[in-house]
A and B are shown apart, each in its own frame.
Chain A
Amino acid sequence: MDVFPIIVVIAFFQLVIIQKPFPHLDQTIFGIFLVVMGLFIFILGLESALFPIGEKMANEFALKGNPWWIIFFGFALGFSTTIAEPALTVIAGKAGGLAAGAGAIENTKSSVAKFVLGLRYTVALSVGLAIALGVLRILKGWPFIWFIMGGYTLIVITTFFAPQEIIGIAYDSGGITTSTITVPLVAALGVGLATSIRGRNPMLDGFGLIALASLCPIIFVLGYGILVYGVGS
Chain B
Amino acid sequence: MNSEIFNTLIDALGGTLQDILPIIIVLGFFQVVAIQKVIPHLKQKLIGLGMVVLGLGIFIVGLEQCVFPIGSQMANQLTDLNFLAGSDSALVETLKKSSQMDPGIYLWTYIFAFLIGFSTTLAEPALIAVAYKARDITTGAISAWGLRVSVALGVATGVTLGVYRIVMGNPLHYYIVAGYAFLLIQTWFSPKQIIPLAYDSGGVTTSTVTVPLIAALGIGLASNVPGRSPLIDGFGLIAFASLFPMITVMAYAMITEKLSKRKEINEPS
Judged by DSSP, the binding face of B is helix
A144 in contact (CB, < 8 A): yes
Q: Which residues of A contact B187 (CB under 8 A)?
A: 145, 148
A143 CB to nearest B CB, Å: 9
Query: A156 and B65 in contact (CB under 8 A), knowing A38-B55, A204-B193?
Result: no
Query: A179 and B52 in contact (CB under 8 A), knowing A168-B239, A205-B196?
Result: no
- Tell me if B236 and A214 are in contact (CB < 8 A): no
B241 in contact (CB, < 8 A): yes
Nearest B residue (CB) for A66? B34
- Tell me if B26 and A76 are in contact (CB < 8 A): yes
- Tell me if B66 and A31 are in contact (CB < 8 A): yes
Q: Which residues of B contact A156 (CB under 8 A)?
A: 177, 180
- Tell me if B203 and A38 are in contact (CB < 8 A): no
B85 in contact (CB, < 8 A): no
Q: Which residues of A contact B55 (CB under 8 A)?
A: 37-45
- Tell me if A49 and B51 are in contact (CB < 8 A): yes
Query: A13 and B78 in contact (CB under 8 A), knowing A37-B58, A183-B204?
Result: yes
- With A48-B44, A48-B51, A201-B193 already in contact, 6 other A-B pairs whose C-beta atoms are closer than 8 Å: A17-B78, A31-B66, A152-B180, A172-B239, A176-B238, A183-B130
- Which interface class (under 10, 10 to 19, 20 to 34, 35 or more) fits A? 35 or more
A 188-205 binary contact with B (CB < 8 Å = 1; else 0): 100100000000011111
Give complex CA distance A33, B59 in Å: 9
Chain B contributes a number of interface residues (CB within 8 A of A) equal to 104
Query: A34 and B61 in contact (CB under 8 A), knowing A41-B55, A168-B239?
Result: yes
Q: Which residues of A contact B63 (CB under 8 A)?
A: 31, 35
- Tell me if A50 and B48 are in contact (CB < 8 A): yes
Give complex CA distance A51, B137 in Å: 13
Partner of B25 from A80, A164, A179, A209 at Cβ < 8 Å: A80
- Tell me if A41 and B208 are in contact (CB < 8 A): no
Closest 9 CB pairs of A and B: A49-B48, A31-B66, A38-B59, A34-B62, A45-B51, A42-B55, A41-B55, A168-B235, A214-B203
A-B residue pairs in contact (CB < 8 Å), sample of 21: A3-B123, A5-B119, A6-B116, A14-B70, A34-B65, A37-B58, A38-B54, A46-B132, A48-B47, A64-B34, A69-B30, A69-B34, A84-B19, A84-B21, A86-B18, A94-B231, A149-B184, A181-B19, A203-B138, A210-B200, A211-B203
